[in-house]
Chain A
Amino acid sequence: SWERHGLVGSEIKLYCLSFSWRWLSEDVSFSWSYKPEAAKDSISIFHFARGQAYVDNKGPFRDRLEFVGNPKRRDGSILIRNLEYNDNGTFTCDAKNPPDIVGRPSSVKLLVFDRVPTRAGVITGAIIGSVLGVVILILALYYLMRFLVARRVLSLSCWLLFLFCSTVEKGKKKSGKEGSQQRQVGVKDVLTYLQLEILES
Chain B
Amino acid sequence: MLILLFAIVILHIAALVLLFVSTIVNAWVSDNGSTADLWQNCSSSDTGVHCVVGYTGEWIQAVQAMMILSIIFSIISLFLFICQLFTLQKGGRFFLTGTFQILASLFVMSGAIIYTVKYRDWISGDASFGYAYILAWVAFPLALISGLIYVILRKRE
Contacts and interface: CB of A to CB of B under 8 A. Distances in A.
A198 interface: yes
A196 B72 CA distance: 26
Contact of A174 (B58, B62, B89): B89
A153 interface: no
Given A118-B61, A123-B61, A198 B56 contact: no
Nearest to A122: B61
B97 to A, nearest CB: 12
B46 interface: no
A194 interface: yes
Contacts of A51: none
A175 B62 contact: no
Nearest to B155: A196
Given A117-B56, A118-B56, A198 B61 contact: no
Contacts of A104: none
A195 B61 contact: no
Interface in B60-103: 61-62, 64-66, 68-69, 72, 85, 89-92
A174 B88 CA distance: 11
A176 to B, nearest CB: 10
**How many of chain A's residues touch chain B, expressed as a range?**
20 to 34
B57 A118 contact: yes
Interface string A141-183: 0000000000000000000000000000001001101110100
B52 interface: no
Given A124-B64, A131-B69, A194-B4, A179 B91 contact: yes
A174 B91 contact: yes
A191 B150 CA distance: 12
A198 B156 CA distance: 7
Contact of B155 (A122, A175, A177, A195): A195
Contact of B68 (A128, A181, A192, A196): A128
Contacts of B61: 118, 120-124, 127
A117 B66 CA distance: 21
B58 A118 contact: yes
A40 interface: no
A175 B156 CA distance: 12
Contacts of A119: 56
B62 A195 contact: no
Given A123-B61, A124-B68, A128-B69, 8 more contacts: A123-B62, A124-B62, A124-B64, A127-B61, A175-B89, A178-B157, A195-B156, A197-B2
